[in-house]
Amino acid sequence: MSGALALSGLVKRFGEEVAVDGLDLEIGEGEFFSLLGSSGCGKTTTLRMIAGFERPDEGRIQLDGADLAQVPPHKRPVNTVFQSYALFPFLDVHDNVAFGLRYQHTTKHEARRRVGAALDLVQMGSMAKRKPHQLSGGQQQRVALARALVLEPTVLLLDEPMGALDAKLRKQLQIELRSLQKTVGTTFVYVTHDQDEALTMSDRLAVLDKGRVKQVGTPSEVYSTPANIHVATFLGTTNLWDAHVIAADDAGMRCKVGSIELLVAGQDAESGDAVSVMVRPERVEVAASPNGVAGANVLQGRVDTLTFRGAHTNVVLECADLRIEAHVANVAGAPPPWLCEGAEVCVQVSPGALRVLTS
């Protein structure tokens, strides 16, 4: 197997604008790797440099150890699936998929076998005779995928390929695409601004901002242990407070957050440092009464607002001068009776659920 990509010190400028600003990434063989970031952060530009449509101003792209700088786009073992599927309207599904094989020296028999296999892979074998206008958006998307996969690229680049699909279909295709990638073993570099998509599908992902990498990790690493404020706030929702460290030792960091003291696990900052403290809402525990609750960071709070969100209830709590958002799972289908607006409750956040961020 092959398909290991190394991007080092990549820079791309358009006039005054720096679209990609010193990007370093190592993407492993057969990995499903996502580039996640908001509009304009340089995702497409990065893919275009890997594909060879755009030349980097600085830096290097290596595939399996070989520098790609002198390799023209059509000679790179890389294919791209774009947001707009751009199927040929007058060709049927089979011929759309077969189109790219014209430039590879395959026999008719071999071409038919490969097109059939690619269509089966995306579950479109039964629609080979249809024209694109006779297909739904999701089906067209599958054909576009088959068209890229039939060429057996070492690396497949996907640029927001589900952007045009509705939420339900996206969810279904996310799961299909993920399992298809594991079947074929091709390295996928997947561009999206949708955090759910990146978390659902990726082996690892890079969070980009203004042409730079803010963090690389597995979905659970970047979600649960964000490296900085940008990543913490870009992915999911979070409580984030200005704080300063009163004391730091083996037991953790004692932080003053408003008028409250919280113990945070870890040793990321020193006594006196101005920091931010974060905790995800689902890691804030809310209980009816303090009876029997022991341990660090136990607070008295009052429920300010409750919002039913289906799987969980959004609870905004006032604990002295802190506003804390908690997500309470609706395990009984509805919030428990004691959890109502105005109720006095017990709030606990374990030191391991809190994080200190210094940048």
Ligand X SMILES: Nc1ncnc2c1ncn2[C@@H]1O[C@H](COP(=O)(O)OP(=O)(O)OP(=O)(O)O)[C@@H](O)[C@H]1O
Binding residues for Mg ion (CB under 5 A):
44
Q: How far is CA 303 from CA 285, 307, 316, 346, in A?
A: 13, 11, 6, 10
56 binds ligand X (CB under 6 A): no
Closer residue to Mg ion (CB): 44 or 96: 44
Closer residue to Mg ion (CB): 161 or 301: 161
Least distance from Mg ion to the Cβ atom of residue 42, Å:
9
Task: Give CA 337 to chain center in angstroms.
Answer: 36
299-325 burial: b if 16+ Cβ within 10 Å, else e: bebebeebeeeeebbbbbbebeebebb
Partner in contact with 17, chosen from Mg ion, ligand X, none, beta carbon below 5 to 8 Å by kind:
ligand X
Least distance from ligand X to the Cβ atom of residue 80, Å:
13
Q: CB neighbours (10 Å) of residue 175? A: 11
Please write down the long-range contacts of 259-264, taking CB distance under 8 Å and 24 or more positions apart: 259/320, 259/321, 260/299, 260/319, 260/320, 260/321, 260/322, 262/296, 262/297, 262/349, 262/351, 262/354, 263/296, 263/297, 263/351, 263/354, 264/351, 264/354, 264/355, 264/356
Listed in sequence order, the residues at least 6 apart from 148 whose beta carbon sits closer than 8 Å to its beta carbon are 79, 80, 81, 100, 156
Among 4, 23, 36, 41, binds ligand X (CB under 6 A): 41
Least distance from ligand X to the Cβ atom of residue 131, Å:
29
* DSSP E strands, the chain: 5-14, 17-27, 32-36, 58-63, 66-67, 78-81, 155-159, 187-192, 204-209, 212-217, 239-249, 252-257, 260-264, 274-279, 285-287, 298-308, 312-319, 322-329, 344-348, 355-357
Encoded one letter per residue, x for contact with ligand X by CB under 6 A and - for no contact, window 21-40 reads: ----------------x-xx
Least distance from Mg ion to the Cβ atom of residue 82, Å:
10
Least distance from ligand X to the Cβ atom of residue 37, Å:
6
16 binds ligand X (CB under 6 A): no
Partner in contact with 39, chosen from ligand X, Mg ion, none, beta carbon below 5 to 8 Å by kind:
ligand X
42 binds ligand X (CB under 6 A): yes
Least distance from ligand X to the Cβ atom of residue 327, Å:
28
Closer residue to Mg ion (CB): 44 or 140: 44
* Strand partners of residue 328: 313
Closer residue to ligand X (CB): 14 or 308: 14
Partner in contact with 107, chosen from Mg ion, ligand X, none, beta carbon below 5 to 8 Å by kind:
none
Partner in contact with 19, chosen from ligand X, Mg ion, none, beta carbon below 5 to 8 Å by kind:
ligand X
Size of the site for ligand X (CB under 6 A): 12
| Ranges within 178-237 binding ligand X (CB under 6 A) | 193
Three-class SS of residue 36?
strand
Among 45, 139, 154, 239, binds ligand X (CB under 6 A): 45
Closer residue to ligand X (CB): 157 or 319: 157
Closer residue to ligand X (CB): 37 or 335: 37
Among 27, 43, 98, 212, binds ligand X (CB under 6 A): 43
Least distance from ligand X to the Cβ atom of residue 211, Å:
7
Alpha-carbon distance 30 to 188, whole Å? 7
Closer residue to Mg ion (CB): 11 or 260: 11
Least distance from ligand X to the Cβ atom of residue 190, Å:
13
For the chain, where are the alpha helices, taking DSSP H only?
43-51, 93-98, 108-121, 137-149, 167-184, 195-201, 219-224, 229-234
70 binds ligand X (CB under 6 A): no
Least distance from ligand X to the Cβ atom of residue 75, Å:
23
Q: What six digits make up the tokens of 357?
A: 């961020």
Q: Name the residues that contact ligand X, by CB under 6 A.
A: 14, 17, 19, 37, 39-45, 193
